[in-house]
Amino acid sequence: MNTIRFKIARIAAAVLVAISTFAIFGAVNDYASAASPAVVTGEVIRHDHLDFGPRGPIPLKVLAFHDAMRKLWEDHITWTRMFIVSAVADLPDVGHAAERLLQNQADIGDAVKPFYGEAAGEQLTALLRDHILIAADLVAAAKAGDAARVEEATARWYVNADEIAAFLNSANPKNWPLDEMKAMMREHLDLTLEEAVARLTGDWAADIAAYDQIHGQALEMADMLSTGIIRQFPKQFK
């Protein structure tokens, strides 16, 4: 009798373990599906938020480039924020933050060289360096309370943004329409300005909210740029 009970208990335990394993496996799969739209299948990957034309498996080269572009623009907004925080508070690391931020502009320029050439990459880097250096002038002027300098730097900053938009449009007019590029760059400046003003005035809630907004906008910028390049040079991503 004890032997029969023992066998029954073992069978019941095995059934419970199997049921628990199945439930956990199902829950993990449900979570993974909800948390990430990406599903890897051999040498391709599905990533539903990407828009490269007809739906279907997306080559891993496409996804890698898409993610690399996002990393570059996340670095851009992260180190811009680090610079703003350090410059406003006169922290001793401000020079290092500025140096790292400027390196990011070179990294973005390097990312487009395989598609548009060395000269175009260097031109984009130069435009983006101006974007950062003018922003630094603007922060310094605002911190000093110099309204005239703020106005002059702001005007130069938006002219530079239009120059970046024009450069992008000239490189890829079909996928980067001029109006869209201008709107993208101006929104980027508007949100960065909101972030800097909030930090300068000590409005910490607005500062955080502005950074959250610019983070999302930077990802949209990155996706617009990577999608445009992939569509213009599809053979390089097969």
Q: How far apart are CA 120 and CA 112, in angstroms?
A: 8
Q: How far apart are CA 175 and CA 229, in angstroms?
A: 8
Express as a percent the part of the chain with pLDDT over 90.
Answer: 74
Instruction: Let me know if residue 48 belongs to a domain.
Output: no
**Residue 138 or residue 23, greater confidence:** 138
Is there a single domain that holds both residue 27 and residue 145? no
Is there a single domain that holds both residue 126 and residue 16? no
Q: How confident is the model at residue 59 (pLDDT cuts 50, 70, 90)?
A: confident
Instruction: Let me know if residue 110 belongs to a domain.
Output: yes
Q: How far apart are CA 115 and CA 113, in angstroms?
A: 5
**How many domains does the chain contain in total?**
2
Instruction: Let me know if residue 45 belongs to a domain.
Output: no
Is there a single domain that holds both residue 193 and residue 97? yes
CB atoms within 10 A of CB 116: 19
161 pLDDT more than 90: yes
Q: What is the pLDDT of residues 96-133, one digit of tens each?
A: 999 999 999 999 999 999 999 999 999 999 999 999 99
Is there a single domain that holds both residue 221 and residue 151? yes
Cβ contacts of 193-202, under 8 Å, gap ≥ 24: 193/138, 193/154, 195/81, 195/84, 196/84, 196/88, 196/135, 196/138, 196/139, 196/142, 197/142, 199/84, 199/85, 199/88, 200/88, 200/139, 200/142, 200/143
Distance set, CA 137 to CA 1, 108, 143, 148, 151 (Å): 88, 22, 10, 12, 11
Mean pLDDT of all residues belonging to the chain? 84
